[in-house]
Structure 1
Amino acid sequence: MRWIACELHSHTNHSDGRQSLPELAQGAKALGFDCVALTDHNTMTGLKDRESVEQETGLTIISGMEWTTFYGHMVTIGLTEFVDWRPAGPGDIHEGIDQVHAFGGIAGMAHPYRIGNPMCTGCFWEFEIRDWNQLDYIEVWSGTFPSIKTDNARAFRLWTDRLNDGFRIAATSGRDWHAQELTDEPLPVTYLQLDETEGSLTEQAVRALAAGRASVTMGPLVTLELHSGKIVYTIGDCVPEQERSLSYEAVVNIDFQVRAGHWAFPEARYSIALTSNLGVIGEQPASPEQEQYRFGITGKGLKWVRAELKGNVRGMRTMIAFTNAIYAESE
């Protein structure tokens, strides 16, 4: 299995973007990304030259579309063909999600707490979610330098609350990239762990996100495993009910070399924490000189656990990276 760096929310001049697909792909490649999802508003026409652009740039382009409605924006990724967004009303988004799934895609809430009407039509999520099991992911970090934005903090809390409720739902980042404009702000990256079995890289990436095998960062890649003897659980896995009483060693690995040259936090004074529905389990100082960190953890009462990397960025103490969860079956 390997991790790839992905940008999961982008636009071209086929909707409100100010870049062509070749410009988007070349820009993503120059920033150290392995793939980019094209999620134009309510259209998939921008994917017309997808194969030739992939061949020219060596970058994987994932098919997608951002359902842009009066009641919320929903990013759909991995679609094999257009799924009409227009029938979706505030109480029937589940019918739309069913259709997305039927055509090979997955669905996620985009920037659910961004300011809405009249500043940004439909950007604030108002669709009724009756079954959180049906939604595949929540975009908890949107835009550049996402960790300091209050709307993202609300989205992160929403994700955490749903984990506490027992739902297995993934969290992602998305730049919501519209133009090839230079920025010195930290960029969010969603890393996906491919299973490298059958199918194209696009299909593997969609399976990874659907399974929650994702880690989000503005810099280093953080991964997490739970060890008990020969048993190893990784991000997206679920600890069976009969094994919840066991004690585990949580192993956190931090790769400070990913996308080298594209980020730097020289005054970070990193710390790595293990967080769960039971609160903060433990925290340790971290540094680029040390790759691995270990914590003792018990499965008793556990619903989920994740790793969080914090540090100083531009004079602020903030989240720099976090993993998706390892889950535990309900008692």
Structure 2
Amino acid sequence: MVKWIPAELHTHTLHSDGKQTLEELAQSAANLGLECIAVTDHNTQSVLVDQERVQQQFGVPIISGMEWTTFYGHMLTLGVDRFIDWRILGPDDIHEGIRKVHEQGGIAGIAHPFRIGSPICTGCFWEYTIQDWHEVDYIEVWSTLMPSIKRDSQRAFAMWTDLLNQGYRITAVSGRDWHISKPDDALPAVTYLGVQEEAGEQETLANRAVEAIREGSVSVTMGPLLTMQAQVEGNDKSYRIGEYIEPMAGDSLLVTIQLDAQIRAAHYRLEPQSLRLLLTSRQGTCSEIHIPAQSGEYTITLQDPAEKGWVRAELYGCMEDCVTMIAFTNPIYIAGITSL
């Protein structure tokens, strides 16, 4: 059984350039209905000395992390609680750093790859050479507040889509890059992590959250939760986001998309309207339907699914007086693309 956990994966405290203590961050997260956060201070993990105490105090599991901040780009490392030194790495050496993260059982993701760089934001623009995209676990395709209207996030989303089309399996997440909380903040995105629902301590949930990102069990939204599952017609086995289907010739694929407009509904405003729900693939838009701005379930039949390579759901509508993408899922992958 999968439970969808609302999370924030990119945060900062007073231990780097944030304006909040870990306690203030955890309290703000709880106030926003978040059930998990990753603490990713720049080039330090000193804040983790308070991790266990703050988790217990506020009931918000904390993923140990760090933002590897260099002149050539910023990389987020999650699930690693031992400092990994980045200073010896040049622009062609990032895979050595990723290898060290993986050796510790962690995951590595590219932060805000198209954020404006030097001299405005030193090193924020990604310039490292990626020799093998299979080694990158995830990409922060939506960054900062109200991300889908930002040009740098749109470029990152397009880059991720291009990598999917090339046959890579890379998870997409959002990251608020949370430095300070203000009452008049614009709308943040939330990364929902599909974790296996088990009894356990908060630390265990944090570990399962990291695994969800590694497996691609992720949905991203500025409002309602968008999820999907698929099954080959005539077969009872269901496949969820991040999983891989191998249909036979002549099979049809039934994709069921769920929209949950109740979860965290107090933390965003979705006006009554007609929303556009798309199912997309490497071939472009497979299906487009108009749906009300309320919870619902919709099933789409795909013929010749092996030609699609992957499918994901996308939701468009008006939020905060902007017509924009509101939410998207990570893909369900389909046999038919040869990885590089």
Q: TM-score range, shorter-chain basis? A: over 0.9
1:221 equivalent to 2:220? Answer: no
Identify the residue that residue 59 of structure 2 maps to in structure 1. Answer: 58
Q: Distance in 1 between matches of 2:193 and 2:69?
A: 25
Q: Distance in 2 between matches of 1:195 and 1:107?
A: 21
Q: Distance in 2 between matches of 1:59 and 1:262?
A: 17
1:124 equivalent to 2:121? Answer: no
SS at match of 1:281: strand
Identify the residue that residue 290 of structure 2 maps to in structure 1. Answer: 285
Q: Superposition pairs for residues 1-331 of structure 1, below 5 Å?
A: 1-196=2-197, 200-228=204-232, 229-240=235-246, 243=248, 245-298=250-303, 299-329=305-335, 330=337
- Count how many residue pairs are aligned between Structure 1 and Structure 2: 330
Deviations 1:199-252 (A, max 9, x none): 811110000000000000000000011122212111000112x53642011100
Amino acid across the alignment from 1:189? V
Contact 1:196-1:204 at 8 Å conserved across structures: no
Amino acid across the alignment from 1:22? E
Task: Give the aligned CA root-mean-square deviation in angstroms.
Answer: 1.4
SS at match of 2:133: coil
Counterparts in 2 of 1:268 and 1:19: CA distance versus 1, 3 Å: farther
SS at match of 1:286: strand
Q: Distance in 2 between matches of 1:302 and 1:245?
A: 14
Contact 1:245-1:300 at 8 Å conserved across structures: no
Unaligned runs of 5+ in 1: none
SS at match of 2:302: strand
Q: Distance in 2 between matches of 1:139 and 1:44?
A: 20
Cα deviation for residue 300 of structure 1 reads: 3.1
Q: Distance in 2 between matches of 1:193 and 1:314?
A: 27
Contact 1:15-1:40 at 8 Å conserved across structures: yes
Cα deviation for residue 85 of structure 1 reads: 1.5
Contact 1:244-1:328 at 8 Å conserved across structures: no
SS at match of 1:171: strand
Q: Distance in 1 between matches of 2:314 and 2:56?
A: 36
Q: Distance in 1 between matches of 2:88 and 2:250?
A: 47
Amino acid across the alignment from 1:34? E
Deviations 1:177-220 (A, max 9, x none): 00122234221100001123588111100000000000000000
Unaligned runs of 5+ in 2: none
Contact 2:223-2:265 at 8 Å conserved across structures: no
Counterparts in 2 of 1:314 and 1:196: CA distance versus 1, 3 Å: closer
SS at match of 2:99: helix
Normalising by structure 2, report the TM-score. 0.94
Q: Distance in 1 between matches of 2:250 and 2:45?
A: 48
Amino acid across the alignment from 2:212? A
Cα deviation for residue 258 of structure 1 reads: 1.1
Counterparts in 2 of 1:36 and 1:307: CA distance versus 1, 3 Å: same
282-291 vs 134-143, which deviates more?
282-291
Counterparts in 2 of 1:101 and 1:307: CA distance versus 1, 3 Å: same
Cα deviation for residue 260 of structure 1 reads: 2.3
Deviations 1:269-301 (A, max 9, x none): 312110000110111112244410111113131
Deviations 1:106-138 (A, max 9, x none): 010000000000000000000000100000000
Contact 1:244-1:302 at 8 Å conserved across structures: no
SS at match of 1:208: helix
Q: Distance in 1 between matches of 2:250 and 2:171?
A: 25
Counterparts in 2 of 1:146 and 1:172: CA distance versus 1, 3 Å: same
Normalising by structure 1, report the TM-score. 0.96
Percent identity between the aligned chains?
A: 50
Runs of 4+ in structure 1 displaced over 6 angstroms? none
Q: Distance in 2 between matches of 1:90 and 1:187?
A: 31
Contact 2:36-2:62 at 8 Å conserved across structures: yes
